[in-house]
Amino acid sequence: MKTKPLLTVILTSFFLLSGCLDNEENVEESVFSSERLALSSTAANGSSPINQEYLQAQAEVLETFAAIGQTISDGAGQGYYSAFMDQLISFHAYGDKFVEFNGGESFDSEGNEHNERQLFGEDIKENGIIQFATVEGTLKVAVYFGNVANVTFISDFILDHKVYGEIRVNNLITLLFVKVNGDWKMVHEHHSPVAEESISSSKSSTLSRSAANGSSPINQEYPQAQAEVLETFAAIGQTITDGAGKGYDSKHMDKLISFHAYGDKFVEFNGGESFDSEGNEHNERQLFGEDIKENGIIQFAAVEGTLKVAVFFGNVANVTFTSDFILDHKEYGEIRVNNLITLLFVKINGEWKIVHEHLSPLKN
């Protein structure tokens, strides 16, 4: 595989790597059945934030991204509490809204900080960042309203681990940044393994983070926006339930697709693969319209206590949860789907639309 050396690459907490190195833990199966999954949608037009590029903001995010990669490289093996690890942690905006999905598990701010300090400060050898790159052509920086940026890519990291030696980390990675007091900070991370066929050559990037304070958008709740997103979320779940098995081109599937804001910024990570707008539309029409039996949505719920709606600036919402779906599949019969799910919504012309999806299996 052809790659470019580090220098700008991104990373964030000990990503998927932790899933490979840690022992598996059981996850409680309790269900929050009153909460429905909803995928957001809408057709984007030239004047929509879906299509605006925000070039200055993109450049700022990439600069932060590169600074994070350099900090990780400089701090490898220098200790849990080294100045480098303090700097790495400062790139995050921790608080109640922060969620990390990694290695099939969910972590809060404290868990994320520990993961990053432990992996990069302790577990990796000194000078152990051999390569910190992204697979060429996969890095995307989608900026909305100039103050929220969704960074997606496939990693191609080579790390020298104290226990496992030289290891390669190829993950599908989502990093959500918010601009706080002029700096770009990370508020969400989602890492999941990439399917081997999705990997080609590589390229570089970086991440971001910071400490939030009471007046920061990191801590503001936006209850009205949260209620609107949850209402949209429930409407999507109802549309999926009503349209199950009704056909690829049914009116229910048309309505489901309308909850998305498709365009160049849209990315779906699912099943170890990356999909664009067209791929996402096909996946949803095929699964819910064709592959599931009529009335085949037996349960469409989130595991109790996992659903979080983090709203930033009142116009971007990151919805994270652990699914507990039971579907009646035409070929496989009754199947349970327990995934870690990230859905990023943007408010467009008064409606909340999905602009990014990242789904990965929950560790059993």
Q: Are residues 114 and 81 in the same domain?
A: yes
Question: Does 62 fall in a domain?
Answer: yes
Q: What is the mean pLDDT of residues 22-49?
A: 37
Range of the domain at 257: 223-361
CA distance 327 to 181: 45
Examine the domain organization and report whether 264 and 123 are in the same domain. no
Contact 171, 191 (CB under 8 A): yes
Q: Give residue 10's pLDDT.
A: 34
Q: Does 212 reside within a domain?
A: no
Is 249 within the bounds of a domain? yes
C-alpha dihedral (122, 91, 106, 127), degrees to nearest 10? -30
How many alpha carbons lie under 13 Å from residue 248 in its C-beta half-sphere?
5
Q: Has residue 211 been placed in a domain?
A: no
Kindly state whether residues 242 and 166 are assigned to the same domain: no
Lowest mean pLDDT across 21-30, 114-123, 171-180, 182-191 = 21-30
Specify whether 199 is located in the same domain as 254.
no
CB 273 within 8 A of CB 198: yes
CATH code of residue 231: 3.10.450.50
User: Are both 194 and 331 inside the same structural domain?
Assistant: no
Tally the domains of the chain. Answer: 2
Ranking 49-53, 63-67, 88-92 by mean pLDDT, the lowest is: 49-53
Its pTM stands at: 0.84
Residue 145 shares a structural domain with residue 108: yes
Least confident segment among 46-55, 58-67, 237-246, 262-271: 46-55
The answer as to whether 9 is a domain residue is no
| H/E segment holding residue 325 | strand 316-329
Read off the pLDDT of residues 145-158 as tens digits, 9 standing for 90 and up.
999 999 999 999 99
Token pair of 335 as six digits: 């199947």
Structural domain includes residue 208: no
Is 38 a member of any domain? no
Q: Is 196 exposed, middle or buried (0-12, 13-18, 19+ CB in 10 A)?
A: exposed
The verdict on 78 and 150 lying in the same domain is yes
pLDDT for position 215: 53
Interval 121-149 mean pLDDT? 97
User: Quick one: pLDDT band at residue 219, thresholds 50, 70, 90?
Assistant: confident
Average predicted confidence (pLDDT) for the chain: 86
